[in-house]
Chain A
Amino acid sequence: MTTMRPLLFTIFTKTKPFQCLRKTSLHQIRNSSYESSKFLVDVEVSTKYEATKIPEEWKYVERILPPTLVPEPQPLPEYQSGWKPQGDHKDSPYFVERSRNHMMPVYLDVRQRGVKRHTIIKKIQGDIWLFEKDLRTFLEDLIKPKPLRLQVNEFARKICINGDHVNAIKYWLGEKNF
């Protein structure tokens, strides 16, 4: 390995000439950066290498590059994983939009270093008060002896509920095809 080091160094040292950076006087030079380092010198690459452009090999590179956009879900007759696409809601007085990842916008918020748990529903469109009324009847049934503590933020289109009811609310939304 000791013999390898200078060899590897010669390959990976930047071959950009330093002089061209100095000429632009208005350009701010940050000496802390590797690009503008004073010690960066032009090094001749003595290691033999071959530059290839083979489409078959490049396919493997493209395969592992991370995608830049969130893809659309597959249109399937039946989904095995429990995920469902959103139904049509033209006549409904309220609507819960899906997140950019095609998921329901129901989140668990753990506050006070794990002491308190809150469920937050986001992206509620339309009549949020009617939505709250429907949700209240479902949740009050679920946590019967306890009172339901729920806060509606009409402006931010959010509802915050005391306690962890994420899965229950996701199930309820799924039943309503949201």
Chain B
Amino acid sequence: MGSNTTEKALSMLRFLPRVCLSNIRPHPNSRIRDKRGRGQHGGDKHGCGNKGSGQRQNYMRLGYETGNNPFYLRFPHEPYYQRHHLRREYPPVSLLQLLKFIELNRIDHTKPIDLVSVVNTGLYKLLPDQRQYGIQLTDEGADVFNLKINIEVQYATEVVIAAIEKAGGVITTAYYDQHSLQCMLNTKKFFERGVPIPKRMMPPPDAIEYYSDPAKRGYLADPDKISEERLVLAQKYGYSLPEIEKDPSYDMLTERKDPRQIFYGLHPGWVVNLRDKAILKPQDEELLKYYAN
């Protein structure tokens, strides 16, 4: 009997698979964890340590000193930072950066440069929802800048204006409201929406003075006064002003936008159809009246 069972078992073993990791069972009554935790604490701390801001991801606000009288309140207040979180912001683009964009073929300097061409480089990000109202041109690289350009920025210092005009170029400072800026961020996306190009709004009361100042090359300033100011600046910095009238690229240098216009050559109220390559222009009198003023 016994030998028969052994033989049967042995003959059965011949057809059974070999013992391997996939067909062995755990020890009876052994503890089986259903999760394999990673890391030092079995994954329960998610790499954020024990207790406090680090674990709860609620870091203290800037300037808070855990109950102390904070540094920024310890002394009499400094009013020049009043309402700083509500002010318009013009993030900088230096002349050297602009030169690099042109040399890397990101910007075509034989055509007028504006905020759209700077954003279209893909190397510059503007965030209008964080109160960034366009770019300011800074003077880094003012000594080496030697290109004749027609540029429109939102803010520029006197040195920058002098550097561009010395090279034979033209600079304008112009204001764009939030809706216009949103259209300019990604023009392809905007045209695909099938929405008419909005009209550009006038600057707010605290900015209107800047944008109608000929010394700042504001877009609302009188052109005659601007040409006067160009001469004044040339005398101040001691360079001879190149004559734009005799320049071969006169048309490019004198191309300007209307104060109501967002894009060069495209009027407010027009709808651009990218698929059919057509431009839809409103003919309704009421609409025309709305977009005209």
Interface, chain A (partner B; CB < 8 A)? 3-4, 7, 11-12, 47-54, 57-61, 63-67, 70-74, 76, 79-83, 101-102, 113
Across the interface, do A57 and B286 meet the contact criterion of CB distance under 8 Å?
no
* Interface status of B16 (Cβ within 8 A of chain A): no
Across the interface, do A47 and B284 meet the contact criterion of CB distance under 8 Å?
yes
With A60-B266, A81-B99, A81-B100 as contacts: A47 and B59 at CB distance below 8 Å: no
Q: Which 4 A-B pairs have the closest CB atoms?
A: A60-B265, A81-B100, A48-B283, A71-B105
Find chain A residues with CB under 8 A from B99 CB. Answer: 80-81
With A63-B264, A81-B100 as contacts: A58 and B277 at CB distance below 8 Å: yes
Interface, chain B (partner A; CB < 8 A)? 59, 96-97, 99-100, 102-106, 111, 116-117, 119-120, 122-123, 141, 144-146, 186-188, 191, 194-196, 263-266, 271-274, 276-284, 286-287, 290
With A60-B265, A61-B266 as contacts: A66 and B120 at CB distance below 8 Å: yes
- Write the chain A residue with the least CB distance to B262: A64
Across the interface, do B116 and A71 meet the contact criterion of CB distance under 8 Å?
no
CA distance A3 to B285 in the complex (A): 13
User: B116 touches which one: A11, A64, A82 (CB < 8 A)?
Assistant: A64
Find chain B residues with CB under 8 A from A70 CB. Answer: 122
With A7-B287, A49-B283, A74-B104 as contacts: A63 and B111 at CB distance below 8 Å: yes
Known: A48-B283, A52-B279, A72-B105. 12 other contacts (CB 8 A): A48-B282, A49-B271, A51-B281, A52-B278, A53-B279, A54-B279, A64-B187, A65-B120, A66-B186, A71-B106, A74-B104, A80-B144
Across the interface, do B264 and A64 meet the contact criterion of CB distance under 8 Å?
yes
Across the interface, do A64 and B263 meet the contact criterion of CB distance under 8 Å?
yes
Find chain A residues with CB under 8 A from B104 CB. Answer: 71, 73-74, 83, 101-102
Find chain A residues with CB under 8 A from B287 CB. Answer: 4, 7, 47
**Could you list 30 examples of A-B contacts with CB < 8 Å?**
A11-B196, A11-B282, A12-B194, A49-B271, A50-B283, A51-B276, A52-B279, A52-B280, A57-B266, A58-B279, A60-B265, A61-B279, A63-B265, A64-B116, A64-B120, A64-B187, A65-B187, A66-B188, A70-B122, A71-B105, A71-B106, A73-B104, A74-B105, A76-B103, A79-B103, A80-B141, A81-B97, A81-B103, A83-B103, A101-B122
Find chain A residues with CB under 8 A from B276 CB. Answer: 51, 53
Across the interface, do A81 and B272 meet the contact criterion of CB distance under 8 Å?
no
Find chain A residues with CB under 8 A from B97 CB. Answer: 81
- Write the chain B residue with the least CB distance to A52: B279
Across the interface, do B59 and A113 meet the contact criterion of CB distance under 8 Å?
yes
Find chain B residues with CB under 8 A from A82 CB. Answer: 96, 100
Across the interface, do B195 and A12 meet the contact criterion of CB distance under 8 Å?
yes
Across the interface, do A67 and B120 meet the contact criterion of CB distance under 8 Å?
yes
Query: Among the interface residues B104, B123, B282, B286, which one has the most CB atoms of the partner chain A within 10 A?
Result: B104
CA distance A79 to B287 in the complex (A): 50
Across the interface, do A57 and B100 meet the contact criterion of CB distance under 8 Å?
no
Find chain B residues with CB under 8 A from A81 CB. Answer: 96-97, 99-100, 102-103, 141, 144
Across the interface, do B188 and A65 meet the contact criterion of CB distance under 8 Å?
yes
Q: Whole-angstrom distance from the CB of A12 to the nearest CB of chain B?
A: 7
CA distance A57 to B280 in the complex (A): 12
User: B279 touches which one: A3, A57, A83 (CB < 8 A)?
Assistant: A57
Find chain B residues with CB under 8 A from A67 CB. Answer: 120, 122
Query: Among the interface residues A52, A63, A82, A83, which one has the most CB atoms of the partner chain B within 10 A?
Result: A63
Find chain A residues with CB under 8 A from B274 CB. Answer: 61
Find chain A residues with CB under 8 A from B282 CB. Answer: 11, 47-49
CA distance A73 to B286 in the complex (A): 48
Across the interface, do A49 and B141 meet the contact criterion of CB distance under 8 Å?
no
Find chain A residues with CB under 8 A from B278 CB. Answer: 51-53
CA distance A51 to B275 in the complex (A): 13
Find chain B residues with CB under 8 A from A79 CB. Answer: 103
CA distance A140 to B97 in the complex (A): 31
